[in-house]
Structure 1
């Protein structure tokens, strides 16, 4: 299950329910096994998802907007010196855009869980595609940053011709195209329908709807998500950071200790955020392929576990600015300069307002106000 909402089949253990015909499927109609009641799952999701998604949205927007502002300020302030946009800055820019677009889809799903889907079918498909595109691209951009650091540190002499902005832009374009292609599954299968649970009708909900004939798509999508959205980037990060650490063995003890702590934090946070969700994805795929037998308890654990672990994974888009931005010396320096500039400008504005009120109160002359404005313009 790759989305923020579970599929229809996940709410049934011993029977399959046909939403269009409102009948039991032929495979299980003879046994007439009792259905698994999933009302407690909905109650939990309606309380949990809106709060968590809203919190991740706020933190991700604030952090990634700061990253974009700092990168823009650094680029504009150094453009006159002829400094090219570095590869790391290029990947950080695309990573921040990806995380920001992913965060903008979260309020829609928060509203869905708090009420139901009220935004229509077109926005359902678009938001689902944006969700998939930016989830995949964000993780792949992290792998690109790791590989760039690997070339810069381990192969600093021989990789000079490889590390240029043109190659970085080509790599980013390839990642966006691949992720857009993967989002086609969401555009095709995502729809807005009501859920029929025994004597209750809930919804409408925007989610992936897989029929019995499309089970292969369901399993294939989840396996692609596990491989491309976790396994492949994790292997790249582990290989690159292990090689980087080996190359730093000759560095000073303090520098090596700082590098080791940074490497461990980067890999640990990535694994902590996305490993649990991908484990649930893999188990669910094995269940759909018949390798695991399900039950009511199994389905409830899978539904609640997938919801919780996916929200933990989504929190990575709010942690990326902290890990890949604020830990950098150059980034912190530019952020401090930007904050000082904003505070200084606000201080000048406040001083100007105080001076204008003072002169209006005591002097009341327009010439003094004009001289103050000229001085303010010069100061700015």
Structure 2
């Protein structure tokens, strides 16, 4: 465990769990900027936001997993008969859940201090990076799959195989684990001065005094691989898709795009501000951008707020499925109705509960036809 004084704050990075109030002291080498009100704001703001996002993400993504599992069990042919879109959305929900499980830990940190030890600190930081990278990569895979299905419908049929999608998901997880190794390597539990000269333990990314270029390089890699490059791929795919649909009357395919485009749009809205602050911070560390104490204050508050907006993305996807995904709403209603009917039968006809009977969760031929593409859209 490292002990940190106010002269050392500049060496930290700006992730949501890495945020430190006096980090702006390093933004100028003249007079230090003491802005303790930022830490006070973080203590009031962060625990409430993190707990709220955790609850919404937990409930929403568990429902998503249950609906996908119900649909998958109704299909024949095993994993390779599963929809490509549902495969990627399944892994996206798992990624969101992994991030959500770390939020209560950091809510406790800001309300009190970090009390979970070094190992949990490193794992939690890695899960943050894992979700951030995997989230946009899974959305990029969905966009590319729609591009192949619509623009190259004839020639790409053999490529659009769910087993291939499973392999792609495995590769994404491996790559994201490698990128999150930065957090595992540099995460530390440090003791620092906070408001009123009180000391508190915080889970931080620690860089040595002579590693500014290394820190900036990692930030730029994060922005490029975790946001800019996948976003360019998605934009290219959807431009080609819209050109193709303008010359066709494929109404059902247009409907299927509505949810996917909504998912991508919300991801960009949630994470673009945070990446802009990260890019600005990198330019400042390189000396290309200069600012006063007020500029540092804006950077710290902005990073804190935009990080929380980005984190809220893990709770927003299930809401999009519910409001935009017609088939998802229908399958969720059927699942809830089936559970209620099953509990009613068990209560009123307990003596018959061991008799084989047809479950309400099975799909009729008409239902199977309606969900042949995806249970989500």
Is 1:6 matched up with 2:25?
no
1:261 Cα shift?
Answer: 5.6
* 3-state SS of paired residue (2:202): strand
Corresponding residue pairs, total = 345
Deviations 1:87-108 (A, max 9, x none): 1121111111111101111111
**Equivalent residue for 1:374?**
352
Shift of 1:254: 7.0
Q: Which among 137, 152, 158 is matched to residue 140 of structure 1? A: 137
1:316 to 313, 318, 324: 313
**1:115 match:** 112
Which position in structure 1 is the counterpart of 2:168?
A: 171
Task: Tell me the distance in 2 between the aligned counterparts of 1:187 and 1:181.
Answer: 10
Asked if the contact 1:92/1:324 (under 8 Å) is kept, the reply is no
* Matching of residue 66 in structure 1 with residue 44 in structure 2: no
- Answer whether contact 1:7 1:210 (CA < 8 A) is retained: no
Distance 1:78 1:255 in 2: 21
Higher Cα radius of gyration: 1
Structure 2, unpaired ranges of 5+: 1-13, 360-377
> Residue 288 in 1 paired to residue 266 in 2?
no
- TM-score normalised to structure 1 length: 0.83
Aligned residue number for residue 358 of structure 1: none
The reply to whether residue 207 of structure 1 matches residue 220 of structure 2 is: no
CA pair 173-209 structure 1, distance change in 2 beyond 3 A: same
CA distance in 1 between counterparts of 2:256 and 2:105 reads 39
Give distance in 1, aligned partners of 2:304 and 2:207: 19
**1:107 counterpart SS class:** helix
CA RMSD of aligned residues (A): 2.6
- Which residues in structure 2 correspond to 1:82-97 (within 5 Å)? 84-97=81-94
Give, in whole Å, the separation in 2 of the partners of 1:188 and 1:131.
14
Which region of structure 1 is more displaced relative to structure 2, 46-55 or 249-258?
Answer: 249-258
Distance 1:338 1:194, change over 3 A: same
Among residues 291, 302, 309, which one is paired with 1:305 in the alignment?
A: 302
**Does residue 239 of the first structure (1) align with residue 252 of the second (2)?**
no
Work out the CA distance in 2 between the residues paired with 1:168 and 1:60: 25
Contact kept? 1:117, 1:204, Cα under 8 Å: yes
Q: Which runs of 5+ in 1 are unaligned?
A: 16-27, 353-371
| CA distance, structure 1, for counterparts of residue 257 and residue 163 of structure 2 | 30
Q: Name the CA distance, whole Å, in 2 between partners of 1:107 and 1:170.
A: 32
TM-score by length of 2: 0.83
Conserved in 2, the CA contact under 8 Å of 1:238 and 1:267? Answer: no
Which residue of 145, 150, 153 maps to 2:147?
Answer: 150
Q: How does 1:37-48 map to 2 (within 5 A)?
A: 37-48=34-45
Pair 82,291 (structure 1): closer, same or farther in 2 beyond 3 Å: closer
**Is the Cα–Cα contact under 8 Å of residues 194 and 200 in structure 2 kept in the other structure?**
no
> Is contact 1:70–1:338 with CA below 8 Å preserved after alignment?
yes
Greater CA drift, 56-65 or 6-15: 6-15
Contact 2:121–2:187 (Cα < 8 Å) also in 1: yes
Residue 219 of structure 1: aligned partner = 216
Question: In the alignment, is the contact (CA less than 8 A) between 2:53 and 2:312 conserved in 1?
Answer: yes
The alpha-carbon deviation at position 218 of structure 1 amounts to 1.6
| Counterpart-to-counterpart distance in 2, 1:84 and 1:276 | 39
Moved more, 291-300 or 72-81: 72-81
| 1:82, distance to aligned residue in structure 2 (A) | 9.6
